[in-house]
Structure 1
Amino acid sequence: MNRFSYTRANEVSQAIEQHRAKGAAAFIAGGTNLVDLWRVNVAHPQVVIDINRLPLKQIEPTAAGGLKIGALVTNSAAAYDPQIAARYPLLSKAILAGASPQIRNVASVGGNLLQRTRCVYFYDAGTRCNKREPGTGCPALEGVNRMHAILGASEHCIAVHPSDMCVALAALDATVHLSGPDGSRVLPFADFHRLPGDTPHIDTNIRDDELITAVELPKQGFAQHHAYIKVRDRASYAFALVSVALGLELDGDVIVNARCALGGVAHKPWRNTDAEASLQGKTLSAETVRNFATDLLRDAQGRRGNAFKVELTARAIERAFLGASQRSFEESGL
């Protein structure tokens, strides 16, 4: 039996102080991932701090022209918010592609960022797993790895990050607001999640005693030209084999700006800013898109169970460009 104590915080400072004082504590909002991990004996919090009363449920414009989303805004509230739907439809579509309506109704924005991999070995406490128990090994390297990483992996872990929302946030260049005992700080979204390296048990660059308070979106939302493509085994309530979040700024057929993040292929939402920069000033064409996909996947490494993902990702990128540019296959030559 998992024995634990429960407490509730009403202010951010109170939650941080309770966490500091309690030791092996965990913040809980929707709990849609924490409770799952708890049930299978992967998470072992001794103290649970309920943060649902914190004043972090607002969606507000920023002075810079962007939007600030409180960490306790539910996934459903974010997806259907009129400001987000109109200015950042890429984010809205990504959220609605994830989980189920029931889960989205309780899952929080902050919790979505912190959810952990769904690797079957990580969830099975009876198997070895470097992410769960560092130094024990990674059975997925030669085992069941159909869902696993083709980019940014290491010999210690080839798990992938499961979020749809985070792929869109990566493409939008969001930032994450954090509060802790040492004060507040803002972390670029690109620096929030980590690649496995030789420390796969550390998922993010947030400190144990810090709390996510908000996610901030910049002014540019790619409302006119965007696409979120999710390739999965069934039409709903399934994690991505591959996903693509794409935002384009076009001047006729010329690419002015492009952002592309991949999901289901790495330990974190995957971007290559050099490859994106190479698109600037180029005419949107089948050749341009194929060359971009080649650049983005140049270091991809498939294994016995997931080598198909390399070609699948390239095709998904092409499909995203078609959707974002509002072209047909016949027009594009793809």
Structure 2
Amino acid sequence: MRPFKFSNAGDPATAITLVSANPGAKFLGGGTNLVDLMKEDVMHPSELVDITRLKHADIEKTATGVSIGGTATNSFTANHELIRKNYPLLSMAILAGASAQIRNMATNGGNLNQRTRCTYFYDVNLPCNKREPGSGCGALKGVNRNHAIFGWSEKCVAVYPSDMAVALAALNAVVHVEGRNNAKRTIQFADYHRLPGDTPEKDNNLKQGELITSIDLPTNDFAERSYYLKIRERSSYAFALVSVAAALSLDGNQIKQVRIALGGVAHKPWRASVAEKWLMGKEATESNFRAAAEAELKNARPLEHNKFKVVMAKKAITRALQGAMQGGVYGLEG
């Protein structure tokens, strides 16, 4: 690990000012991803600004839903009464990720900003445009079993790892950020993360020094029919090959609203908009779930070693929607 400056911030303005003034500075929350990357020499910030003492850790009702603090931990969020009761999909997704020890440390803002787990990104001896722009994408023609089937470019085929973010994508969350001079703005969750395009080193649309203060969850009627399915190679402490956040609202057996988001398939949480549109107004049946999944995956572009993800994603969408119909808990498959 390279030397760096460590600063404590007693208030948001101080933290934002410090990071805004130094292009090499990073906010430090739980550090569960950033510190690992520093140890591997993948990232080497010149300054870390500790934000764990900032007053952005509350979870509370709002006029339009629930607000969760950017520095609240994943464990606190997943187990909070407001989340478990009104947004069980988010609880399921968070609890499907990492380990209890990491969830106790990791913050919501940090979860959104975690980097890919692509092995080419982590190995500094291999080419990676995300780590070193212009060096090439080793995974494009290399071993790409765990990589993208949607939205990738010639510059990068990595996937985004967060489980929490997949649920937030399905829930149409809104991210609140604060920048220098008290400049505040909101980012629709669909616009928060980026596809790789020609700049895969940019994971999201935050500006340097912008701090996630909270994430808003709009009111919905999905609480009774939500399900998070995560398929991975082992049942503990592994990232998704494919994951699905699914939620349904019904009128009798007719679908009034449906939300489907996929993880493990793209550079960002992948909203299955084709499948959602196909299902609107139709009967909530297994055959319709399968047809919707087929429609969504027609646009997939698998790589040499991950064609299995196309079949897996079709089955996962169908099973997640069936799980939502049953109002079940999250599923794990290793």
Q: TM-score, normalised by structure 2?
A: 0.95
User: After superposition, where does 1:255-334 map in structure 2 within 5 Å?
Assistant: 255-326=255-326
Distance 2:298 2:279 in 1: 16
Once the two structures are TM-superposed, the CA of residue 22 in structure 1 deviates from its matched residue by: 3.6
Secondary structure, counterpart of 2:311 in structure 1: helix
Distance 2:276 2:54 in 1: 38
2:37 corresponds to 1:37: yes
Secondary structure, counterpart of 2:270 in structure 1: coil
Q: 1:6 to 1:308 in 2, by over 3 A?
A: same
Secondary structure, counterpart of 1:111 in structure 2: helix
Which piece of structure 1 moves more, 276-285 or 183-192?
Answer: 276-285
Q: 1:308 to 1:293 in 2, by over 3 A?
A: same
Opposite residue 56 of structure 2, the aligned amino acid is L
CA deviation string 1:147-195 (max 9, x = no partner):
1000111111110000000000000000000000150000000000000
Distance 1:3 1:284 in 2: 57
Once the two structures are TM-superposed, the CA of residue 273 in structure 1 deviates from its matched residue by: 2.8
Other-structure match for 2:184: 184
CA deviation string 1:109-136 (max 9, x = no partner):
0000000000000000111101111111
Superposed CA RMSD in Å reads 1.4
Structure 2 contact 226–327 (Cα < 8 Å) conserved:
no
Which piece of structure 1 moves more, 174-183 or 282-291?
Answer: 282-291
Once the two structures are TM-superposed, the CA of residue 146 in structure 1 deviates from its matched residue by: 1.0
Q: 1:254 to 1:224 in 2, by over 3 A?
A: same
CA deviation string 1:32-61 (max 9, x = no partner):
010011011111111110001100110011
Opposite residue 276 of structure 1, the aligned amino acid is E
Secondary structure, counterpart of 1:239 in structure 2: coil
Secondary structure, counterpart of 2:227 in structure 1: strand
Q: 1:23 to 1:132 in 2, by over 3 A?
A: closer
Distance 2:47 2:82 in 1: 37
The gaps in structure 1 that reach 5 residues or longer are 329-334
Once the two structures are TM-superposed, the CA of residue 20 in structure 1 deviates from its matched residue by: 2.5
Structure 1 contact 250–256 (Cα < 8 Å) conserved:
yes
Once the two structures are TM-superposed, the CA of residue 274 in structure 1 deviates from its matched residue by: 4.5
Other-structure match for 1:123: 122
Opposite residue 107 of structure 2, the aligned amino acid is S
Opposite residue 161 of structure 1, the aligned amino acid is Y
The gaps in structure 2 that reach 5 residues or longer are 329-334
Other-structure match for 1:236: 236
Distance 1:230 1:29 in 2: 26
Secondary structure, counterpart of 1:230 in structure 2: strand
Opposite residue 193 of structure 2, the aligned amino acid is H
Aligned residues: 327
Distance 2:55 2:19 in 1: 18
Once the two structures are TM-superposed, the CA of residue 277 in structure 1 deviates from its matched residue by: 2.6
Opposite residue 124 of structure 2, the aligned amino acid is A
Structure 2 contact 244–320 (Cα < 8 Å) conserved:
yes
Structure 1 contact 88–221 (Cα < 8 Å) conserved:
no
Which piece of structure 1 moves more, 254-263 or 143-152?
Answer: 143-152
Once the two structures are TM-superposed, the CA of residue 14 in structure 1 deviates from its matched residue by: 1.1
Distance 2:327 2:200 in 1: 41
Identity over aligned pairs, percent: 54
Structure 1 contact 28–48 (Cα < 8 Å) conserved:
yes
Structure 1 contact 172–221 (Cα < 8 Å) conserved:
no
Structure 1 contact 262–270 (Cα < 8 Å) conserved:
yes
Distance 2:194 2:108 in 1: 19
Opposite residue 138 of structure 2, the aligned amino acid is P
Q: TM-score, normalised by structure 1?
A: 0.95
Distance 1:327 1:230 in 2: 16
